[in-house]
Structure 1
Amino acid sequence: MPESQNWTLKQQFAPYAVDFRNSRGRQFPEPEARERTPFQRDRDRILHSGAFRRLEYKTQVFVYHEGDYYRTRLTHSLEVAQIARSISRSLGLNEDLAEALALAHDLGHTPFGHAGEDALDAVMQPYGGFDHNVQTVRVLTLLEQRYASFDGLNPTWETLEGIIKHNGPLVGASGAGDVPPIIAELDGKLHLQLGGYASAEAQVAAISDDIAYHTHDIDDALHANLFGIETLLQAPLAGEIVAKVRDTYGDLSNSKLVQEIVRRLIGIMIEDLLTESRKRLAVHKPRAADDIRQAPVPIISFSPEMEERNKALKSFLFQNMYRHYKVNRMASKARRVVTDMFELLMKEPNCLPAQWQRTGNDQPGEIEESKQARLVADYIAGMTDRYAMIEHARLFDLNAKT
């Protein structure tokens, strides 16, 4: 490495951390930056991407017009990044890689959150379905159009691997597995080791996602009056914290009480994660980043007890928040908006904006109808909630301006 590119390490990496100096490079080779590591460049490209900016108006649980307090995909991603950096520093991991993965993990989300994704997946079933994690890969490698030399953001091997394995290995020990075409194509070029786990940094980013949405969804639900503090007392894990906060402080304003509950809940989850992860590191004794990838179990993990409590908390949130009738009503509208637009644009592709009529984003082996369906899915998935509602009106309301 040239002397001008020999960056000073500000953090002491553990031996099992991903070292930027050993990066496996990018799909399209580029000269290294003089003042930034490869993973810092990945992070910066993600931050400056159009897909990242649009997360500001994409639903986490509440649609943007329901209030400016509630979290969006953008604020959620920032919170995940903060948690991931803190955990990574404690474990001696590469904070820049963990941050890049945390910021990128939701780039492929549709408008209207999981309701929009469910609707798009349903209409895409004849054409391979739709998954927001796979869509994030499409954004990173195809859909962002910012650079003259390549499509996408040309992320490093390590960032791409972490996104692809966000939910763990894609194939079993035998190599069998249903791998989406775009990932199979990338694996053929980059050898992404789809049968193994991702790096420790990627595992941190994935579990930070769980910590952020569980805890902050409680905050949003209480603010929206979907349930109250007395109901939360019955919730696994969170209920114990409510009782302790009340015992310690007595009567608190609702705002302070909620924030104290959320803060403590995040702290308890992170403390458990660090304790369990250090136990697994001591057992498996990884001496390099690839030892983490080849381990038989995830190294970054909650304890079995915390896993069970988290599952119970998620079940509580499904019953009291995600399936609340107010959320269901908006989700029902969202599914109709997405389904209506997809069906119309498949029948009348000349209604697509001109630039989308000219963009193929082809994948090997797709028949013409499948290409059109994937193109329409890319178009809809990239919309914000606001744009999706405006575009739906343009397509279906005779009084709307086109």
Structure 2
Amino acid sequence: MPTSLPPRAPYAERPSASRGRKVAEDESRTRTPFARDRDRIIHSTAFRRLKEKTQVFVAHEGDHFRTRLTHSLEVAQIARSLATALGLDADLAETIALAHDLGHPPFGHAGEDELQIQMEDFGGFDHNVQTFRVVTKLERRYPRFDGLNLTWETLEGVIKHNGPVVDRLSRPSWRAIAEFDADYDLRLDTWASAEAQVAALSDDIAYNNHDVDDGVAAGVFHLKELLDVPLIGPHVESAFRDYPDCDQTIIRLEAVRRMIGAMVDDVLAETQRRAKAGKVESPEDVRMLGHALVAFSRDMVEDLGQLRAFLMERMYRHWRVNRTRSQARRMLGEMFQLFLSEPDVMPAEWGQRAAERDQAGRARVVCDYIAGMTDRFAIEEHKKLFHLDVWG
């Protein structure tokens, strides 16, 4: 028999009680406001581009490594499952999970680091702010407004899923958030909904597990080297013990599957403990709790820290990854400087937009153009701009 769904938690967000959209619209006859937000994100240009933006390895290095798109789908699946188990609104959790990486530039953290350097004198760059700008301004699909006109609850989750952000508003890179909030209060001094917090924890679960998977698949470390690493080690050992005759690829996948299950169970138990201890009975209680409601236990946080230290040493700083990071940063840096000094070499729409601005405004347009690129497009664009042989 199918498992019955848990009852709706008293602190779950309710679509019928949504604070609405900045630009009022008629409600959909077939979807809740949060489900409608999800669909708008899936149909956006920025979401499609995630298919060739990388996590750690550059897209052209192999088609079996995670991209931002596959990662976002995996985060959304975990978020939906967690939200359902906690009695939360699964559509809202899924929507925020799908949106969380829309502002990432090409080449993962290398691209973000380079744009931060290039934009240092022009207001800075922050991928979370860029995600917010994508969904509120840069996507252009509707006649009445720029952006996607998402619900208040989705926008709140996009910008503060990791906690209050009011202390960041003085940073130059957060100017766009401060300006938007002045006109449409997102309560940046409080925690976000439980659904947004679920999306944030699902991101942690997905990338830690899948970086282990991709690292072994790429050969930067071997499966048996994980035996002594907290969190993943016991699951590798039990998978070997339970299936001694299995191919190591299957053992790897089984160990990762078990680690995901263990992390999900930990979040469920810790969140339920915190809800009871904090007497959380409404969405407002979640926002005013003073700390995260959805969280890992202390033991899980400690084990995760040791796993991340292993991944940092053996994967993120591996010479192959360092080499592609170096190449990526040079490409983006060279293109940024060229576009800034010669905006007319960008596509007409972008070049005209840049030419109409002062230096800081022009830099932001250049940054938006580069941040929207996929890995493959950035590589090809750089070739066309700096290597004359591609025209031969």
How would you bin the TM-score normalised by the shorter chain? over 0.9
Instruction: Summarize the alignment of residues 2-401 of structure 1 with structure 2, pairs less than 5 Å apart.
Output: 12-171=7-166, 178=171, 180-359=174-353, 368-401=358-391
State the alpha-carbon separation in 2 of the partners of residues 281 and 96 from structure 1: 21
**Structure 1, gaps ≥5 residues long:** 1-9
Give deviations 1:140-159, integer Å, cap 9, x for gaps. Answer: 01111111111111111000
Instruction: Judge conservation of contact 2:38–2:95 (CA < 8 Å) in 1.
Output: yes
Instruction: Judge conservation of contact 2:103–2:131 (CA < 8 Å) in 1.
Output: yes
Instruction: Judge conservation of contact 2:354–2:366 (CA < 8 Å) in 1.
Output: no
Question: What's the offset of the Cα at 1:400?
Answer: 2.5
Which residue type is aligned with residue 329 of structure 2? R
Question: What's the offset of the Cα at 1:248?
Answer: 2.2
State the alpha-carbon separation in 1 of the partners of residues 388 and 374 from structure 2: 22
Question: What's the offset of the Cα at 1:127?
Answer: 1.2
State the alpha-carbon separation in 2 of the partners of residues 246 and 114 from structure 1: 34
Question: What's the offset of the Cα at 1:11?
Answer: 8.1
Which residue type is aligned with residue 207 of structure 1? L
Counterpart of 1:358 in 2: which secondary structure?
helix
Quick check: 187-196 or 89-98, which moved more? 187-196
State the alpha-carbon separation in 1 of the partners of residues 281 and 355 from structure 2: 41
Question: Sequence identity of aligned pairs in percent?
Answer: 53
Report the number of matched residues.
387
Instruction: Judge conservation of contact 1:42–1:159 (CA < 8 Å) in 2.
Output: yes
Instruction: Judge conservation of contact 2:101–2:131 (CA < 8 Å) in 1.
Output: yes
Counterpart of 2:49 in 1: which secondary structure?
helix
CA gap 1:107/1:188 in 2 versus in 1, 3 angstroms: same
Counterpart of 2:80 in 1: which secondary structure?
helix
CA gap 1:54/1:11 in 2 versus in 1, 3 angstroms: farther
Instruction: Judge conservation of contact 1:361–1:375 (CA < 8 Å) in 2.
Output: no
Give deviations 1:337-361, integer Å, cap 9, x for gaps. Answer: 1101001111111111101123369
CA gap 1:25/1:63 in 2 versus in 1, 3 angstroms: same
Which residue type is aligned with residue 366 of structure 2? V
Instruction: Judge conservation of contact 2:355–2:362 (CA < 8 Å) in 1.
Output: no
State the alpha-carbon separation in 1 of the partners of residues 171 and 46 from structure 2: 27
State the alpha-carbon separation in 1 of the partners of residues 175 and 372 from structure 2: 20
In the alignment, which residue of structure 2 is the partner of 1:7? none
Question: What's the offset of the Cα at 1:99?
Answer: 0.5
Instruction: Judge conservation of contact 1:233–1:242 (CA < 8 Å) in 2.
Output: yes
CA gap 1:232/1:316 in 2 versus in 1, 3 angstroms: same
CA gap 1:285/1:258 in 2 versus in 1, 3 angstroms: same
Question: What's the offset of the Cα at 1:166?
Answer: 2.6
State the alpha-carbon separation in 2 of the partners of residues 185 and 259 from structure 1: 45
Which residue type is aligned with residue 386 of structure 2? F
The alignment's TM-score, normalised by the length of structure 1, stands at 0.93
State the alpha-carbon separation in 2 of the partners of residues 165 and 176 from structure 1: 12
- Superposed structure 1 runs of 4+ greater than 4 Å apart: none
State the alpha-carbon separation in 2 of the partners of residues 278 and 68 from structure 1: 39
Give deviations 1:214-268, integer Å, cap 9, x for gaps. Answer: 0011111111111001211122211121112222222320111001110000011
Which residue type is aligned with residue 306 of structure 1? M
**Structure 2, gaps ≥5 residues long:** none
State the alpha-carbon separation in 2 of the partners of residues 212 and 377 from structure 1: 28
Which residue type is aligned with residue 284 of structure 2? D
Instruction: Judge conservation of contact 1:98–1:204 (CA < 8 Å) in 2.
Output: yes
CA gap 1:154/1:361 in 2 versus in 1, 3 angstroms: farther
State the alpha-carbon separation in 1 of the partners of residues 333 and 68 from structure 2: 21
Instruction: Judge conservation of contact 2:94–2:199 (CA < 8 Å) in 1.
Output: yes
CA gap 1:11/1:95 in 2 versus in 1, 3 angstroms: farther
When the two chains are superposed, the root-mean-square deviation of aligned CA atoms in Å is 1.8
State the alpha-carbon separation in 1 of the partners of residues 49 and 132 from structure 2: 16
Counterpart of 1:126 in 2: which secondary structure?
coil
Question: What's the offset of the Cα at 1:398?
Answer: 1.4
Question: What's the offset of the Cα at 1:384?
Answer: 0.3
The alignment's TM-score, normalised by the length of structure 2, stands at 0.95
State the alpha-carbon separation in 2 of the partners of residues 334 and 399 from structure 1: 20
Give deviations 1:327-382, integer Å, cap 9, x for gaps. Answer: 111111000111010011111111111011233699xxxx8211011100000000
State the alpha-carbon separation in 2 of the partners of residues 334 and 306 from structure 1: 34
